[in-house]
Structure 1
Amino acid sequence: MRIDRFRSAWGIAPGSNLDNWAQIFPQLKAHGYSGVEVDIHPLEPSRDFPRLKEICDQTGLEIGLMIHSSWFQYLGPRPANTKADHHLTNYRNLLQSVQQLKPSYMNFQSGEDLWDVEESIKFYKGTLVIDKELGVSGRVWHETHRNRSLFTPYATRCILEAVPELRINADFSHWMVGCERVLDVSEGDKIMMNAIIPHVYHIHARIGTTQASQCPEPTNPVFKEERECFERIWKQVIQARAKDSGPDSRLIFVPEYGPFPYHPIGSAKTHGEVADEEGKRLEVLFREYAAGLTGA
């Protein structure tokens, strides 16, 4: 099984004409990253998309995309009274716009947490239809993110039961802080997570805590319980993907550690340092685990 590490560009200013990225992306390649994950919404497609592809082609980095189905960049108040049809219109337009980048995958923060489950199901069924029409089926993930339809494990499980073909990106740090507990200790939580994990095709490998969505020092012994919980769950994801896809399968993970306010003021290391250190540590952990699986 192939395990690849992508770096989030979150917190790295692109600069004029993306010139800052042009300087920094070769450093990320040298650090062992296979690709970058970029939020498209601060970019101007006609000007910045060709430049982004040029930089990544020259650097040898693949492109993964972060996309919002509405409330782009979370700027200003949440748009009022937007329903599945509005998000689906955005979804189609955005997917069409980004194909010039030839992305390896497209990760959506999608839907809304205030929808009832039926509205979310309507939306996600619609996304699968659009994926097929545009020829991107199997390359789109939907992130388990606060503010969005997949904001809790309970809502997510209900949606997946109705839309089993849906592929999700596991950013379970949002769930741990939202639920205020580690998520694989109680029997009820184990059953819930076991039902969700087979649908995970991408990992935002950020360790959170029961009180914060980002841990500033993942290897500090004080966070041992949370770290071990995340590592157990991530190994279950690797096992599910290896079992489902066989030895030629691929799993991309992103050590997605972001700047303030995710990263606490006064931390011993910058969020970028934490991301790079955790990325290397987890790459070894994940590859060793995958190598030990039969047929992986």
Structure 2
Amino acid sequence: MALQVLFFCPRWGSEHLPWEDFCRNVKQEGYDGIEYAIASDTTPKELDTAWNAAVKNSLVILPQHFDTYTANFTEHYDLYCNWLLRIRAYKPFKVNSQTGKDFFSFEQNKVLIEAAAASGIPVVHETHRNKFSFAAHITKAYLEKIPGLRLTLDASHWVNVAESFLDDQPSAMQLAIERTDHIHARVGYPEGPQVPDPRAAEWQEALNKHLNWWDQVMLLKEQQSPNAQLTISPEFGPFPYMVHIPATGRPVADQWEVNSFIMHLLKNRYNQKNEMPFKASMAPPAL
């Protein structure tokens, strides 16, 4: 059995669409599932609607945690644990977590990482500005001291923070690649976390830098186990990530088209036939 690569479409940027319409579009485009950034105040009705629409269209939902913002660590910890407890009821196969804060101490962020590990859910922690993992060299220290820490690699944030393509941090990048289970396939550049359009010739250097990192993750997964699994979410976002023309509010590129371009590029690059290793058959729980 070959390495399984599953592609997830972000709900981010399509919140205006009813779940049924969105899921139908996602399925028709060729994705395997949806990455759903679930706010703490999302209602049970909204969650149930999302899960039912995904199951109906044979899609899997990968929940994303993002909105625990409070600077008070005790409150932050409680809110984070409550979010994990709530999502656990849906039995997700994986959760992507934007975890902690860049200004929390190592020990504080470590407590949050340990809470995720104890939740009973497979949690991968996204490399993201403003979180514990905001920079390559900082995340390297966490990876060295926490052997079980697994990542969602979103190198676009690190490129932006370091104002470089990280050529001077090979050991940090290598360790991150070795610990990656999920990829956010967005292309950043030294002055921003998202190039205006990765299809344009002027952004090919940035695209190729990221492709090289993603290729390394793929190669390592294949070497580790022929039955390994990797999930990928093309995650080009809407405004303000997507550049808009001043005064008109018109985006310089179509977010859906750009994410589809990345998905199909990687699917062809990695020769994926879109065969699901499991069925999207779980109905939402009674909450």
TM value normalised by structure 1: 0.84
Q: Greater RCO between the two (CA within 8 Å, min separation 6)?
A: 2
Q: Which segments of 5 or more consecutive residues in structure 2 lack a partner in the other structure?
A: 246-250, 273-287
Pairing 1:90–2:74 present: no
Q: Secondary structure at the match of 2:203?
A: helix
Match of 2:242 in 1: 263
Aligned partner (choices 153, 160, 183) of residue 170 of structure 1: 153
Match of 1:292 in 2: none
Q: Secondary structure at the match of 2:137?
A: helix
Match of 1:293 in 2: none
The answer to whether the 8 A contact 2:6-2:231 is kept is yes
Trace 1:11-160 onto structure 2 (pairs within 5 A): 11-14=13-16, 20-41=18-39, 44-68=42-66, 70-71=68-69, 79-80=70-71, 82-83=72-73, 85-128=74-117, 130-131=118-119, 135-136=120-121, 139-160=122-143
Residue 281 of structure 1: how far off its partner (Å): 0.9
**Equivalent AA in structure 1 for residue 215 of structure 2:** K
Using a 3 Å threshold, how does the CA distance of structure 1 residues 204 and 262 change in structure 2: closer, same or farther?
same
**Equivalent AA in structure 2 for residue 280 of structure 1:** H
Aligned partner (choices 273, 279, 284) of residue 257 of structure 2: 273
Using a 3 Å threshold, how does the CA distance of structure 1 residues 287 and 86 change in structure 2: closer, same or farther?
farther
- After the TM superposition, which parts of structure 1 deviate over 4 Å for at least 4 consecutive aligned residues? none
Match of 2:8 in 1: 6
Residue 118 of structure 1: how far off its partner (Å): 3.2
The answer to whether the 8 A contact 1:181-1:210 is kept is yes
The answer to whether the 8 A contact 2:81-2:115 is kept is no
The answer to whether the 8 A contact 1:216-1:274 is kept is no
Q: Secondary structure at the match of 1:5?
A: strand
Pairing 1:192–2:172 present: yes
Residue 102 of structure 1: how far off its partner (Å): 3.1
Q: Secondary structure at the match of 1:287?
A: coil
Q: 1 CA distance for matches of 2:115 and 2:62?
A: 22
Q: Which segments of 5 or more consecutive residues in structure 1 lack a partner in the other structure?
A: 72-78, 289-296
Match of 2:193 in 1: 213
Listed one character per residue, the Cα deviations across residues 145-204 of structure 1 (whole Å, up to 9, x for unaligned) are 011000001110101111110111011100001101112x33xx1122112211110000
Q: 1 CA distance for matches of 2:155 and 2:136?
A: 9
What is the aligned-residue identity percentage? 27
Using a 3 Å threshold, how does the CA distance of structure 1 residues 123 and 13 change in structure 2: closer, same or farther?
closer
- Aligned CA RMSD, in angstroms, stands at 1.8
Trace 1:216-231 onto structure 2 (pairs within 5 A): 216-231=196-211
Match of 1:75 in 2: none
Listed one character per residue, the Cα deviations across residues 49-81 of structure 1 (whole Å, up to 9, x for unaligned) are 22111111111110011113612xxxxxxx33x
Listed one character per residue, the Cα deviations across residues 79-112 of structure 1 (whole Å, up to 9, x for unaligned) are 33x22x5433223221221134332321111100
Q: 1 CA distance for matches of 2:24 and 2:176?
A: 36
Listed one character per residue, the Cα deviations across residues 230-264 of structure 1 (whole Å, up to 9, x for unaligned) are 111111111222223x1111111000011011000
Q: Secondary structure at the match of 2:96?
A: strand
The answer to whether the 8 A contact 1:6-1:254 is kept is yes
State how many pairs are aligned: 265
